[in-house]
Structure 1
Amino acid sequence: MSHCIRALCNANVARDFKIPKDVSLPVTYIRSAEHPLEYVGGSPPSERHILAFFAGGMHGYLRPILLKYWSDKEPDMKIFGPLPRDVEGKEKYREFMKTSRYCICAKGYEVHTPRVVESIYSGCVPVIISDNYVPPFFEMLDWEAFSVFILEKDIPNLRTILLSISGEKYITMHQRLKAVQQHFLWHKKPQKYDLFHMILHSVWYNRVFHINHK
C-alpha cells in the first residue's frame, strides 16, 4: 500500500490519507445524465442578501453544534436541519444556495460533504468546517483563494469571522470561485479541464511527482 495511490472521497488526514501521495475525490451528485449542468449558476454578489446558509441532516457531532449556536439566531444566517426532500424542498435548498454569500459545508459522519461542490455550482463561497479534510485537487488549486476554512472549535464565532471578510475580498473570492467552477463540472461528453480530466490529472500528478521520485 505504501506504493499505491488511493483516490478517496473521505480524504481524512487523521485516517491515514497521505499528502502528497493520495488523491482527494470531489463528492458530487449527477442529477441528470442528459443535462448535468441543469442547476449550475446563481445570483451575482449584489443580489446575495443572505450571509450564510446550511441545511442538512444531523449526521455526526458537528452539525448539532452548528444549529445550537446559529439556528434562528440572526436573520441573515439561514441555518436549518433537514429540509423536506420533496420537489419544493429541493428547490428551496437550491434557491438558498444561489442567493447566499457563503454556504456552510459542515462535515457529517465523515470529513467530506457534497455541499462543497454544490456551493461551487451555485456561486456560493464554501465555508468548510472539517478540521482534517483535504479538499479535491489540492495539488493544483489554491482553495483559500475562493473558500473559507473555519476550525470546528470556532463555530461560536462563525458570523463574526464571515463579517470580518471585507466586501472587496468577498467579490474577489467570488470571481475566483467562478473561475475554478469549470474544474468541477460534469459533461455528457468530457471537456478539457472539467471534473473528469481533473481527477485523471490528480492521479497522474501524484504518480509522476511523488511515487516515481520516492
Structure 2
Amino acid sequence: MTWLTHWGVYKPVHSPSHPPGTSPRESLLWAPAHNPGRDVVVPVPEGGGFGHDKSPLHPLSRNPPVRNTTFFHAGRVCGVGLPNTSQPWPFNCPPRGRRYSGAVRQRVHAYHHNRTGYAVLPHVKNFSQMLMRSKFCLATQGGGHGNRQVIAAVSGCIPVVIGDHVYQPFEPELDWNDFSVRVLEEQIPILHEILAAVDEETYRRKQAALRCGAQHVLFSSMRGSLIGESGHYDAFETTLEILRAHIDHPGVPPQDLQKVDEKFKRFMACGADEVGQEPPPREPGTPAVCSKSAFDGPSSCRHCVYKSLLGGAHTMCCNSLDLAACPRLWS
C-alpha cells in the first residue's frame, strides 16, 4: 500500500533537549511514518495568501523588492509563550515548549535572533513583505508537518531546510538541494557561516531552480496559478508522475529515478533538460489554468468556478465544480 501524506519522517526523531540517560522511548518525538520508495510526501495546499498573488517568481513581475535581509523567520518559537532571550537553549523555552518543532525553532532563535542581517522573531506585521525582502527563509516543521517551505519557495525566498530525518514534499524524488539550503540540526550554531558560504553564482542558480521547485509544490490546477505556471508540473501532476515512475522502475531507489527515466527527469525539471534551465516556451494560444496572480490579465478560462471548503480554503476549477472534471488544459 502507498500512502500520500504530508509527514515525511523516515527515521525516529528524538528530542535533543532531554538530559543524558533518558531512555529512547522517553525522548522520542516522532516515530517513522514514511517508507521511501513506496510512500509519497505531498505538500500542504497553499492557496495564495502571504502576498503570493504578487510573487516575484511570476515572469511579469517587475521591480521586485530588494532582498536586503539575509535570513528570516517569524512565528511561534516555543509552541507556547515567548522565548526568554536572556537564557541559552534549551532554557529559552519552558519545559513543555522544548519539544515543539523538534527543538529546531528554539535553537535557531537562541543562536541567531540578535545577529545582524537576521530577522528571527515570534511575530512580525509585514510578514509577506519580509518573505520577499529576504534571501533565505527558515523552512522547518512546527507541531508536526509544516508548510513553511512552500510559503518561502513561492515568495522567491530560498528555503533553509532544517529537520533531520524528515523529507520535504516529493523528496527524495525531487532534489531539494537544487533550490534550497539543507542544514543539519547540529549545524544550527554555525547557520550564519553556512549561509555566508553561498556565493552569488550558487545563489543565482538556486533562484533559477526555485521557480520550477515552486511549481511542484503548488496545487495550481485545482487552486489557481500564482507564478504564471501552466499547472502541468503542479503538485497533483507531480504526485501522479512519481507514482508512474515507481511502477515503471520497481526496485530503483527513489533518489535515482531521474537517472534511469529521461521522461521523469524532464518532468522534474519542468520540461527543461536540467533543473534551473529555461523550459521550452509554450505553444502560442496554449490555455492556462485559472489564475489568482495580480500580474495576469483575464484568464483564458471563460468561467473559473470557486468552491468553498472547510477552514476558508477553496478550489478553483475551469468550468466545473467537480475537480474530477477539471480539464487538464495542457494535454
Q: Tell me the TM-score normalised to structure 1 length.
A: 0.81
Establish whether residue 199 from structure 1 lines up as the match of residue 239 from structure 2.
Answer: yes
Counterpart in the other structure of 1:101: 135
Counterpart in the other structure of 2:39: 22
Bigger mean CA deviation after superposition, 144-153 or 45-54: 45-54
Question: 1 CA distance for matches of 2:121 and 2:171?
Answer: 30
Match for residue 69 of structure 1 among 111, 116, 138: 111
Establish whether residue 55 from structure 1 lines up as the match of residue 88 from structure 2.
Answer: no
Task: Give the 3 Å change call, closer, same or farther, for CA 7–180 of structure 1 in structure 2.
Answer: same
Structure-to-structure mapping, 1:79-90, within 5 angstroms: 79-83=120-124, 89=125
1:27-78 deviations in whole A, cap 9, x for unaligned? 233257xxx962533688992111110011123122122111111x223101
Amino acid at match of 1:173: K
Question: 2 CA distance for matches of 1:173 and 1:117?
Answer: 15
Amino acid at match of 1:9: H
Counterpart in the other structure of 1:185: 218
Bigger mean CA deviation after superposition, 180-189 or 60-69: 180-189
CA contact (8 A) 1:131 1:151 kept: yes
Question: 1 CA distance for matches of 2:127 and 2:250?
Answer: 40
CA contact (8 A) 1:146 1:173 kept: yes
Question: 1 CA distance for matches of 2:76 and 2:146?
Answer: 12
Establish whether residue 174 from structure 1 lines up as the match of residue 227 from structure 2.
Answer: no
Shift of 1:178: 1.9
1:143-177 deviations in whole A, cap 9, x for unaligned? 11111110111111011110011111111111111
Question: 1 CA distance for matches of 2:221 and 2:2?
Answer: 27
CA RMSD of aligned residues (A): 2.6
Counterpart in the other structure of 2:16: none
State the identity %: 26
CA contact (8 A) 2:141 2:147 kept: no
Question: 2 CA distance for matches of 1:115 and 1:138?
Answer: 15
1:115-158 deviations in whole A, cap 9, x for unaligned? 10111101111100000111222354221111111011111101
1:77-130 deviations in whole A, cap 9, x for unaligned? 0111134xxxxx3xx1111111111111122222x3211011110111110000
User: Whose RCO is larger (CA < 8 A, sep 6+)?
Assistant: 1
CA contact (8 A) 1:139 1:202 kept: no
Q: Give the number of aligned pairs.
A: 197
Counterpart in the other structure of 1:86: none
Counterpart in the other structure of 2:298: none
CA contact (8 A) 2:56 2:64 kept: no
Question: 2 CA distance for matches of 1:162 and 1:184?
Answer: 24
What's the secondary structure of 1:47's corresponding residue? coil
Amino acid at match of 2:69: I
Which protein has the bigger helix share? 1
Task: Give the 3 Å change call, closer, same or farther, for CA 37–66 of structure 1 in structure 2.
Answer: closer
Displaced runs of 4 or more, over 4 A: 42-46
Question: 2 CA distance for matches of 1:138 and 1:29?
Answer: 18
CA contact (8 A) 1:50 1:76 kept: yes
Consecutive unaligned residues in structure 2, runs of 5 or more: 12-31, 80-99, 225-230, 252-331
CA contact (8 A) 2:169 2:217 kept: no
Which structure has the larger Rg? 2
Counterpart in the other structure of 2:158: 125
